[in-house]
Structure 1
Amino acid sequence: MTALSLSTRKATPTAIGYAGAVVTVLIWANWILATRHTAETQMSTIDLGLIRYGVPALVLAPVWWRTGLLPKGVPLKLLALMICGSGALFFQLTTFAIQFTPASSAGILLGGSMPLATALIGVLLFRERLDMTRWLGLGGIVAGVAILLARSLYGVQISWTGFTLLPLAALLWASYTHAFRRSGLSALQSSAIIAVWSFLIHVGLAAVFGSSLTSVPLPEIGLQIVSQGLLSGLAATLAYGLAVQALGGTQAAAFTAITPVLATIGGGFLLGEEIGVAGIAAAIVTGAGVALSTGLLARKPAQH
């Protein structure tokens, strides 16, 4: 383990980990709704990315300035996986797809796929072992996504962007989860470095493709600064990092499947989206899957 690991990797209490996971899914549900809202505005995904990562990059400037853009002791491969997995690439894929996907469906396709992808990477690449309860939970998550697929085939049409890009983004997030777990960085350091690199990438995208931020009404920019920048870009990233440190990557990611339930409710009540029986069933089944796959109901060996 590197010197950076020794100085930053301190035990995080389990209770803080659970709290971080809950805070994360609450913010993510709000993020899906806010991103769906931008489909009716003139803001592009590049505009949103500038806000999403510009705000935390500014707030956490003292952290990344001390750590450096390329922290010593952290392999470039892990750093690249973290930046792509939860930074610019992840954000562009999810934001583009969510703008064309109902909030309830986006919550299931993204939030439901994240724990499944994280668990599979953990089992296949890192030889993690899951007990029967967690496998049943992951099966519930798969069942929820299957219900959503059936719903799209018989009535409510969901665009191909949602079914392809959101699971792909979930795979990126799963890669970030495992990379961060093994990087030796603290949640604060990780958030700062991902934010500044992703902001610089979006500045480059804006230079090439342009930005419409100067013509967007100030109230709309203010809404996105709070939702994208302060909540999703800063608070949720820090909270999830704490959850991964305390609970492990697979268990922390399992909590993200609660997002579909919240996104479904919010999409119906706040955005006026049609939910339907199948949508409610998919959200409930997926939510039940996460309750099992978190391992909360699994018997744990006594610690001495």
Structure 2
Amino acid sequence: MVALVQDYKTSPSSGAGYAGALVTVFIWATWIVATRHSSGTPLGTVDLGLIRYGVPALVLSPVWLRTGLIPRNVPPLLLAVMVCGAGALFFQITTFAIHSTPASAVGVLLGGSMPLAAALIGMVVFGERPDLSRSLGLAAIVGGLAILLTRAIAGQDITWISFVFLPLGALLWAGYTHAFRRSGLSALEGGALIAVWSFIIHAGLALVFGTTLASVPLAEIGLQFLSQGVLSGLAAMLAYGIAVRALGGSQAAAFSALTPVLAAFGGAIFLDEAVGVWEITAAVMTGLGVALSTGVLSHRLKG
């Protein structure tokens, strides 16, 4: 854990980056399962948001109190992209969709779409051009998504909400990744600012729409406190920040190749969701596509 709290000025090692990426992807898979589970409880998306961002906002309060809510050296627009991309807007959109989407499909439509969205932003905004390996990877991701679309059209329980909101969430996260990379903030600073601003936004939503936290059993609150607050809101945000700083956005994103497969098996084991040959095929195809699209496999072969 010491490696996961290094400041960006000390240039985190590649070992710390790999550790951060692995921690992140396992937490993401757990978050998908826990959020899917919450659809059967009285907890709403605002309640979950208060838990997810309240914990890291409190724990990291010394950090955001030191930097201020709007740091002088960070353009407000860049900060807004970070907060939207990994904070309140991202959370509300994806949680709404996850509540009506099987975990295996979430892994593909969200985890698989993230590097695709990041590549598109890189090409359109920053003029990046993918090589053959990355192009094949992007094609494999599209193939995995096409399998799910075919299953949805055939009458499976995947609605248009899943195909619209989860890729939109992936686009927001990709925007956050590019913005954070250029912000000059450390993982602690970025995580703290995203958490406090997202908590403020959710507190405002709770004042308008109300909250059911007081009526939810303590056991369920405890589960979401651990999954949403401690793991997803705090540990994963810091770990992903370390991974991006140490490895770069593309290599850090490569580890999300594990998310579709982990989410599929997690849904089958913990939520008793039916996972067939086509769902596993889509998850594996997307996972391999992510690894190719980020260029990690071609980099290893050259080495």
- The TM-score bracket by the shorter chain reads over 0.9
Q: Alignment partner of 2:185: what SS?
A: coil
Partner of 2:246: 246
Bigger Cα displacement from structure 2, 176-185 vs 143-152: 143-152
Q: Alignment partner of 2:296: what SS?
A: coil
Partner of 1:271: 271
For residues 60-87 of structure 1, give each alpha carbon's deviation from its aligned partner in whole angstroms, at most 9, with x where no partner exists.
0111111111011100110000000000
Partner of 1:188: 188
Partner of 1:133: 133
- 8 Å CA contact 2:250, 2:295 repeated in 1: no
Describe how 1:176-255 pairs up with structure 2 within 5 A: 176-255=176-255
Q: Distance in 2 between matches of 1:299 and 1:98?
A: 34
Q: Distance in 2 between matches of 1:86 and 1:232?
A: 11
Bigger Cα displacement from structure 2, 257-266 vs 73-82: 257-266
Judged with a 3 Å threshold, the aligned counterparts in structure 2 of structure 1 residues 80 and 100 are, in CA distance, closer, same or farther, namely same
User: Which residue identity is paired with 1:16?
Assistant: A
- 8 Å CA contact 1:115, 1:257 repeated in 2: no
User: Which residue identity is paired with 1:82?
Assistant: M
Partner of 1:175: 175
Partner of 2:82: 82
Partner of 2:289: 289
Judged with a 3 Å threshold, the aligned counterparts in structure 2 of structure 1 residues 299 and 260 are, in CA distance, closer, same or farther, namely closer
Q: Alignment partner of 1:112: what SS?
A: helix
Partner of 2:4: none
Partner of 1:49: 49
Q: Distance in 2 between matches of 1:42 and 1:121?
A: 37
Partner of 1:93: 93
For residues 197-238 of structure 1, give each alpha carbon's deviation from its aligned partner in whole angstroms, at most 9, with x where no partner exists.
000100000000000101111111011010000000000001
Q: Distance in 2 between matches of 1:302 and 1:212?
A: 54
For residues 259-282 of structure 1, give each alpha carbon's deviation from its aligned partner in whole angstroms, at most 9, with x where no partner exists.
111010111111111111110100
Q: How many residues are paired up? A: 297
- 8 Å CA contact 2:110, 2:170 repeated in 1: yes
Q: Distance in 1 between matches of 2:10 and 2:129?
A: 24
Partner of 1:145: 145
Give the drift of 1:183: 0.4
- 8 Å CA contact 2:8, 2:245 repeated in 1: no
Q: Distance in 2 between matches of 1:120 and 1:15?
A: 28
Partner of 2:121: 121
Query: Following TM superposition, where does structure 1 have runs of at least 4 consecutive aligned residues deviating by more than 4 angstroms?
Result: 300-303
Partner of 2:40: 40
User: Which residue identity is paired with 1:232?
Assistant: S
- 8 Å CA contact 1:107, 1:264 repeated in 2: yes
TM-score when scaled to structure 2? Answer: 0.94
Give the drift of 1:12: 2.2
Bigger Cα displacement from structure 2, 51-60 vs 247-256: 247-256
User: Which residue identity is paired with 1:204?
Assistant: G
- 8 Å CA contact 1:255, 1:294 repeated in 2: no
- 8 Å CA contact 1:9, 1:185 repeated in 2: no
Unmatched runs of 5 consecutive residues or more in structure 2: 1-6
Bigger Cα displacement from structure 2, 138-147 vs 178-187: 138-147
Q: Distance in 2 between matches of 1:301 and 1:224?
A: 41
Sequence identity percentage: 65
TM-score when scaled to structure 1? Answer: 0.94
Give the drift of 1:156: 1.3
Give the drift of 1:8: 4.2
For residues 37-68 of structure 1, give each alpha carbon's deviation from its aligned partner in whole angstroms, at most 9, with x where no partner exists.
01100000000000000000011011111111
Q: Alignment partner of 1:298: what SS?
A: helix
Give the drift of 1:185: 0.2
